[in-house]
Amino acid sequence: MARRAGGGTGRPGGAGVKGARRPEVRLPALEPYAGGELEPDGDYDGVDFRGTDLAGQDGAGARFMDCALTECALDGTALTRARVLDSVLTGVRGIGTDLADATLRDVELVDARLGGTQLHGAVLERVLIRGGKIDFLNLRQARLRDVVFQSCVLVEPDFGGARLERVEFVDCALRAADFTAATLADADLRGAAELGISAGVDRLAGAVISPAQLLDLAPVLAAQLGIRVEG
């Protein structure tokens, strides 16, 4: 089984701000994937998926434990209710990957190129998303705990109704994010290189932002409060 350890990001936090615990996945010796189609409710333990085309396959309810997915195609791959544990995904790409109601625990997602990924209702715990670009990420009603978005670009992510606890955005671009009906606790937005919020600015209680970000968000906050700003 992969070993893991919790730890903060090392970023100085403000008083009362709890840092996210990052995954530290150390994979055992892996067996190359034997090929063929993914199986619904399949069990994949210590498997190396390298350059595998999984597009359009059905792995709903499958369990991936101590696995590595490297440069895999995930276009339209059905992974609803899947459990991805102690695993590393590097350079995966795909449009419309369906991970609704999935569980991701102690997972590193590195340099992904994804669009329209469905993670609504999912549970993410000790997850690091580093590098890459994800467009239209659907995290509605998801639960995120100890999640770090680092050096990545998120275009129009939807956090509607989600719960974010100890979530950090570090050197990443957050563009047109929707926080409608979200609940935040110890969510640290100060490290975001770009912070754009299209909806749900009234749900930022429980988040920490920098003074510069407050100025950037002032027009959105004023509009939310019905304040007219005139020169």
Contact in structure between 157 and 129 (CB atoms under 8 Å)? no
Position 9 pLDDT exceeds 70: no
Burial of 14 (0-12, 13-18, 19+ CB in 10 A): exposed
Residue 21 has what DSSP assignment?
P
Q: Which three-class secondary structure state does DSSP give residue 219?
A: helix
Tell me which of 46-55, 113-122, 146-155, 214-223 is least confident.
214-223
Please report which confidence band the pLDDT of residue 8 belongs to, taking 50, 70 and 90 as the band edges.
very low
Cβ-proximal residues to 83 (8 Å cutoff; 6+ apart), any chain: 62, 63, 64, 65, 102, 103, 105
Q: Which pLDDT score is estimated for 218?
A: 84
Residue 15 has a pLDDT of 54
Per-residue pLDDT tens for 20-70?
A: 999 989 999 999 999 999 999 999 999 999 999 999 999 999 999 999 999
How does the average pLDDT of the chain come out, rounded? 92
Of residues 124, 174, 129, the one with CA closest to residue 144 = 124
| Residue carrying structure tokens 């926080």 | 179
pLDDT band at 106 (very low <50, low <70, confident <90, very high): very high
pLDDT exceeds 50 at position 12: no
Confidence of residue 135 (pLDDT cuts 50, 70, 90): very high
* Burial environment of residue 89 by CB neighbours within 10 A (0 to 12, 13 to 18, 19 or more): buried
